[in-house]
């Protein structure tokens, strides 16, 4: 059996993936200093779409990186531009840059979701302020495999 110190040391390198249904309490808000990583969009029909805009921030004591996901509020029946953000994953800072942490967290979150739900590759990939569009496409290739568009 592991001691408390051994469990804490083992947890240092672990990416914690938070359940989007229950992880973000209403008191948890994305900080205004969070940087936009980029966006993944899926659309299989006009009534079946998903848009994940990804953000990264540090926690208050600067010991962890936190991945946030913002998406349109699907329960807003007034069809306003209201968005909801929730905490999706976190990892220790450990000297990692925001860019490296973003790549690590995004990869871990979507690989986990692929295992659970067979999530397909997003149709639209956009860059943000932290990762340019080409870097986001490279990240999508690393997660879902290289995208080869059809050609004639």
Identify the band that residue 127 occupies on the pLDDT scale cut at 50, 70 and 90.
Answer: very high
Which residues have a Cβ under 8 Å from the Cβ of 66 and sit 6 or more positions away? 56, 57, 58, 59, 87, 89, 90
Q: What whole-number distance in Å separates Cα of residue 85 and Cα of residue 140? A: 21
CA dihedral 135, 120, 112, 61 (to 10 degrees): 40
Structure tokens at 123: 């149709």
pLDDT at 119 over 90: no
Over residues 34-87, the pLDDT tens digits come to 999 999 999 877 777 888 999 999 988 889 999 999 887 665 555 556 677 888
User: pTM score, two decimals?
Assistant: 0.80
């Amino acid at each position: 059996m592991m001691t408390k110190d051994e469990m804490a040391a083992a947890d240092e390198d672990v990416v914690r993936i938070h359940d989007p249904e229950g992880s973000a309490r209403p008191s948890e808000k994305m900080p205004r200093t969070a940087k936009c990583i980029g966006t993944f969009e899926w659309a299989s029909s006009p009534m079946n779409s998903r848009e994940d805009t990804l953000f990264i921030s540090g926690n208050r004591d600067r010991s962890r990186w936190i991945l946030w996901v913002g998406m349109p509020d699907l329960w807003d029946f007034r069809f306003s531009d209201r968005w909801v953000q929730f905490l999706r994953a976190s990892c220790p800072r450990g000297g990692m840059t925001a860019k490296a942490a973003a790549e690590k967290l995004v990869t871990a979150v979507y690989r986990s979701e692929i295992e659970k739900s067979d999530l397909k590759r997003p149709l639209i990939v956009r860059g943000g302020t932290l990762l340019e569009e080409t870097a986001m496409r490279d990240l999508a290739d690393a997660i879902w495999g290289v995208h080869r568009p059809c050609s004639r």
